[in-house]
Amino acid sequence: MSTPSARLQELGIELPQPPAAIASYVPVVRTGQLAVTSGQLPLLNGALTHTGKVGAELTEQEAALAARQCALNALAHLKRELGSLDRIERIVKLDGFVQSALGFSRQPVVINGASDLMLEIFGEAGRHSRVAVGVNELPLNAAVEVAVWVSIFAD
Amino acid sequence: MSTPSARLQELGIELPQPPAAIASYVPVVRTGQLAVTSGQLPLLNGALTHTGKVGAELTEQEAALAARQCALNALAHLKRELGSLDRIERIVKLDGFVQSALGFSRQPVVINGASDLMLEIFGEAGRHSRVAVGVNELPLNAAVEVAVWVSIFAD
Amino acid sequence: MSTPSARLQELGIELPQPPAAIASYVPVVRTGQLAVTSGQLPLLNGALTHTGKVGAELTEQEAALAARQCALNALAHLKRELGSLDRIERIVKLDGFVQSALGFSRQPVVINGASDLMLEIFGEAGRHSRVAVGVNELPLNAAVEVAVWVSIFAD
């Protein structure tokens, strides 16, 4: 198994420029062997890639791409904070919020867009616990929001 | 005070077969002295016990039973991961999401179905912090979703 | 930089009497160097300061005050648990839930009411990671609910 940073290259994935926080908080906080990201929106180059209610204004496949973008942003922030993704021991937990149209109940399929990225990049260490829920509204009308807890190798 | 596993027997509670994950994640991740479960649905023998919007399609009493079932599933997963519930030092946090009809604001009563189970089984060590919120949609139209953080005794 | 308890005095902020839990849980749990609060509502002297759907029944400015009240209650509980706010090393994470009218997507502005308080009192140590989402319903029809993770100085 390659390192996560090597896997990124093999997969041809380039992490985005970490998006700026849109309010009075920071993207990542470390405490002990844990680091936790703020909730990430599907921002790319300063604009949201996917807005609207999933199940009405966009499909679950489109929303899964949004979730993947959220996860890429989380990883971009973690890389900047830690220096390298190779310092991540384990993806511990992923919290996924899907802006859902009434009657849409396939949030797990949507959040798989984020989860699958973690497996692609981190392999076994990417297997995480997860909460996936629907909500009626998200910031900026984003389709998805994802936050991530990781553990870090001891120095 | 009995051990949690003895309490289970005294209470006549049989933990369910841990339900399979319905997406690309794992049921429990351990990190340091913490373990965190994925969001659990009220699954029993592969089917949801309670679906629909609480306050419209089902009552808060019914939903409290759903929350209890979620908590049983969380404990079933923790037991499988840890070998025994007696390795749990403390129920640290419980996150409860209630699929709520518009105007339903008694989420605490619903999530008490999960919280009370923890107190029954773990006594003082079952007293946890908690977040209980309403959401418009949950996976598979489940009435409730519950995730749990616990701390583990040092080996 | 003053200590957090000195800052409270300088700012003329008096922490409220910690509100009683409204269900079967406890306000704060400590585990290792972490402490986590239960979800706090904008309670003051036993009554909610702000109810209703943000964006319809109350403005984002009013809701930001509700978020600040939630954060004050979280700090009141932490102070009681820890003896002093000066034992807090870092505000690690803040989870904010905004009871949102359909179409309201400025949850970050609302939760800034809580985040800004942390910065005022803790300075750099108050800079936290954050999740801000909208939900359709909250307990007791509260406008906002906020939970907080902090790290504690080693004894």
- The 10s digit of each residue's pLDDT in C75-107 is 999 999 999 999 999 999 999 999 999 999 999
- The whole-angstrom separation of Cα B44 and Cα A138 is 32
Residue A2 confidence (pLDDT) = 86
Instruction: Kindly give, in sequence order, each residue whose CB lies less than 8 Å from that of residue A88, ignoring residues fewer than 6 positions away.
Output: A4, A78, A82, A122, A125, A150, A151, A152, A153
Residue at A80: amino acid letter: R
- The whole-angstrom separation of Cα A141 and Cα A138 is 5
> Sign (positive/negative) of CA torsion B145, C98, C66, A38?
positive
- The whole-angstrom separation of Cα C14 and Cα C12 is 6
Compute the count of residue pairs across chains A and B with CB atoms less than 8 Å apart. 90
Tell me if C29 and B93 make a contact (CB, 8 A cut-off): yes
Among C32, C92, C103, beta carbon nearest to A36: C92
- The whole-angstrom separation of Cα C26 and Cα A7 is 44
Residue C82 confidence (pLDDT) = 95
ipTM reported for the complex, 2 dp? 0.95
Q: Which residues of A touch B29 (CB under 8 A)?
A: 90, 92-93, 127-129
Tell me if A136 and C106 make a contact (CB, 8 A cut-off): no
Confidence of residue B118 (pLDDT cuts 50, 70, 90): very high
> Sign (positive/negative) of CA torsion A122, A71, C145, B38?
negative
Give the chains touching A; criterion: ≥3 Cβ pairs < 8 Å: B, C
Is B23 a residue whose pLDDT tops 80? no
Chain A nearest-CA distance from C106, in A, is 5
Q: Which residues of B touch A104 (CB under 8 A)?
A: 137
Residue B93 confidence (pLDDT) = 98
Inter-residue contact B144 to B42 (CB < 8 Å): yes
Tell me if C128 and A25 make a contact (CB, 8 A cut-off): yes
Alpha-carbon A92 to chain mean position: 12
pLDDT digits (tens, 9 = 90+) for B66-104: 999 999 999 999 999 999 999 999 999 999 999 999 999
Which residues 112-141 of A have a C-beta within 8 angstroms of B?
Answer: 112, 115-116, 119, 127-136
Which chain A residue lies closest to B39 (C-alpha atoms)?
Answer: A131
Residue B1 confidence (pLDDT) = 64
Q: Which residues of B touch A134 (CB under 8 A)?
A: 135-139
Domains in chain B, please, with CATH? Answer: 4-152 (3.30.1330.40)
Instruction: Kindly give, in sequence order, each residue whose CB lies less than 8 Å from that of residue C22, ignoring residues fewer than 6 positions away.
Output: B108, C41, C139, C140
Tell me if B137 and A94 make a contact (CB, 8 A cut-off): no
Which chain A residue lies closest to C129 (C-alpha atoms)?
Answer: A38
Q: Which residues of A touch C126 (CB under 8 A)?
A: none
- Name residue C129's beta-bridge partners: C93
Tens digit of each residue's pLDDT, chain A (155 residues): 689 989 889 998 888 888 876 667 999 999 999 999 999 999 999 899 999 999 999 999 999 999 999 999 999 999 999 999 999 999 999 999 999 999 999 999 999 999 999 999 999 999 999 999 999 999 999 999 999 999 999 97
Q: Which residues of B touch A116 (CB under 8 A)?
A: 24
